């Protein structure tokens, strides 16, 4: 079972958690399907009635073999933005590209290694001017998305979620 020992405690009390499992598509790719922790059925990222507590999501994860991880649903009602930097980390050496490393030190917020090990994700307190922004190998979102946590925290960065509006604005500008 995943350990949330190093996880930002401020997310634990929010009722914005889902489980998910992977489904192989006709094209051979994988799609994440959100599952409500109370119902065990498909869940909507737009309907808070489908979401639940972190504790309930972790409980379902522990006994439902279909499930892979838990995720936190970003919504208009919370102050959070998720940032994913894709293809920036060597999974063998752990080396992060210098450009992304610079952004991580500026953001200085909870950061972890993504599922495949080739990217990193950060959660900050900031808002975006649009729902989802993807620029090159950077993806930013603050609503209607589930941030899946791997619990593989990057240790030199804090366990806390920091306010980073100016840095997020600069990142959006730099990413074009």
How many C-beta atoms lie closer than 10 Å to residue 152's C-beta? Answer: 15
Please report where in the chains the tokens 């970003």 appear, as a residue: 74
The single-letter DSSP state of residue 2 is: -
Whether the CA torsion 46, 49, 53, 58 is positive or negative: it is: negative
Does the model's pTM come out above 0.85?
yes
Instruction: Categorise residue 108: left if φ over 0, alpha if ψ from -120 to 50, beta otherwise.
Output: left
Does residue 72 contact residue 11 with C-beta atoms inside 8 Å? yes
Among 106, 112, 103, which residue's Cα sits nearest to residue 150? Answer: 112
CB atoms within 10 A of CB 30: 12
Task: Report pLDDT for 22.
Answer: 85
pLDDT the model gives residue 3 = 62
Q: For residue 160, is pLDDT > 90?
A: yes
What's the pLDDT at 29? 86
Mean pLDDT of 84-90: 96
The CA-CA-CA angle for residues 14, 62, 19, to 5°, reads 45
Tell me the C-alpha distance between 127 and 80, whole Å.
7
Does residue 65 surpass a pLDDT of 90? no
Whole-number percent of the chain with pLDDT over 70: 97
Is residue 170 within 8 Å of residue 115, measured between CB atoms? no
Mean pLDDT of the chain, nearest integer: 91
* Domains in the chain with CATH codes: 10-72 (no CATH), 80-175 (3.30.2250)
If phi > 0 it is left, if psi is from -120 to 50 it is alpha, else beta; for residue 87 that is left
- For the stretch 88-114, pLDDT in tens is 999 999 999 999 999 999 999 999 999
Q: Residues 27-44: pLDDT tens digits?
A: 988 888 999 999 999 999
Sort residue 162 into left (φ over 0), alpha (ψ -120 to 50) or beta. beta
% of the chain at pLDDT higher than 90: 71
Confidence of residue 132 (pLDDT cuts 50, 70, 90): low
């Amino acid at each position: 079972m995943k350990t949330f020992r190093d996880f930002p405690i401020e997310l634990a009390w929010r009722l914005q958690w889902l489980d998910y499992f992977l489904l192989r598509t006709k094209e051979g790719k994988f799609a994440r399907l959100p599952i409500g922790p109370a119902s065990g059925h498909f869940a909507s990222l737009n309907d808070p009635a489908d979401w639940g507590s972190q504790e309930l999501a972790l409980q379902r994860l522990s006994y439902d073999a279909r499930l892979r991880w838990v995720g936190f649903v970003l919504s208009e009602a919370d102050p959070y933005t998720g940032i994913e930097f894709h293809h920036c980390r060597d999974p063998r050496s752990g080396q992060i590209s210098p450009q992304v490393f610079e952004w991580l030190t500026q953001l200085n917020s909870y950061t972890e290694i993504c599922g495949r090990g080739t990217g990193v994700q950060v959660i900050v307190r900031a808002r975006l001017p649009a729902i989802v922004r993807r620029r090159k190998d950077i993806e930013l979102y603050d609503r209607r998305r589930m941030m899946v946590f791997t619990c593989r925290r990057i240790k030199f960065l804090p366990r806390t979620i920091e306010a980073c509006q100016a840095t997020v604005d600069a990142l959006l500008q730099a990413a074009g």
